[in-house]
Amino acid sequence: MAPPTSALGRGTVVRYAIGSVGTGGFGTLPGLVLLIYMTNTLGVNPAFAGAAFTVSKIWDVIIDPWIGARSDRSLARTGARRTFMVLGAIGLPVFFVLTFTVPPGLPELASAAWVLIGFLLAATAFSFFQVPYIALPAELVDGYDDRTRLISARVIVLALAILAFGGGATEIVGLVTASGGTEYLGYLVMAGVAGLIFAVAFLIASTVERSARGTSEPVVPAPASVDGPAAPKVGPGMHYRRGWSAVRSSAPYRALLVTFVIQALAIGLMLAGVAYVAAEILGAGVLVLFLSLIAPALLVTPLWAALSRRIGKERALRIATVVFAVAALSLILLIWFPGPWLYAPVALAGAAYAGLQSLPLAMLPDTVAHDAARNGPGRAGTFSGVWTAGETAGLAFGGTIASIVLAVTGFIPTVAGQSVTQPESAIVGIIVSFSAIPAALMFGSLLSLARYPLRRSDIDESTHRVASEPAPPNGAPTA
284 domain residue, yes or no: yes
> How does residue 2 score in pLDDT terms, banded at 50, 70 and 90?
very low
> Residue 465 falls within a domain, yes or no?
no
Judge whether 461 lies within some domain: no
**Long-range contacts: 113-117, Cβ < 8 Å, 24+?**
113/52, 115/34, 115/37, 115/38, 115/42, 115/44, 115/52, 116/52, 116/55, 116/56
Residue 255 included in any domain = yes
Is 231 contained in some domain? Answer: no
How confident is the model over 255-265, as a mean pLDDT? Answer: 94
Q: Is the pLDDT of residue 280 over 50?
A: yes
- DSSP letter string over 81-126? -HHHHHHHHHHHHHHHHHHT-PPTT--HHHHHHHHHHHHHHHHHHH
What is the predicted pLDDT for the residue at 415?
Answer: 66
Is residue 318's pLDDT more than 70? yes
Q: How far from the centroid of its chain's Cα atoms is residue 342's Cα? A: 25
Of 8-17, 214-223, 383-392, minimum mean pLDDT range: 214-223
Gap between the Cα atoms of 169 and 43, Å rounded: 20
- Give the number of other Cβ atoms within 10 Å of residue 454's Cβ: 22
192 domain residue, yes or no: yes
Residue 24 lies in domain = 11-209+250-456
Residues of the chain with pLDDT > 90, as a percent, come to 32
The CATH number of whichever domain residue 156 belongs to comes to 1.20.1250.20
In a domain, 229, yes or no: no
Q: Give the tens place of pLDDT for each residue, 391-410.
A: 877 877 887 888 889 889 99
Confidence of residue 8 (pLDDT cuts 50, 70, 90): low
CB neighbours of residue 215 within 10 Å: 6
Q: HSE-up of 95 (CA within 13 Å, CB side)?
A: 21
Structural domain count of the chain: 1
Confidence of residue 349 (pLDDT cuts 50, 70, 90): very high
Q: Is 114 within a domain?
A: yes
Output the average pLDDT for the chain: 81
How far is the C-alpha of 196 from the C-alpha of 200, rounded, in Å? 6
Phi, psi of 415 (to 5 degrees): -105, 170
Pairwise pLDDT comparison (7 vs 423), residue with the higher score: 423
- C-alpha to C-alpha distance for 54 and 393, rounded to whole angstroms: 8
Between 78 and 132, the higher pLDDT residue = 132
The predicted pLDDT at position 71 comes to 83
Q: pLDDT value at position 40?
A: 84
Distance CA 464, CA 389 (A): 31
Q: Could you count the other beta carbons within 10 Å of the beta carbon of residue 377?
A: 29
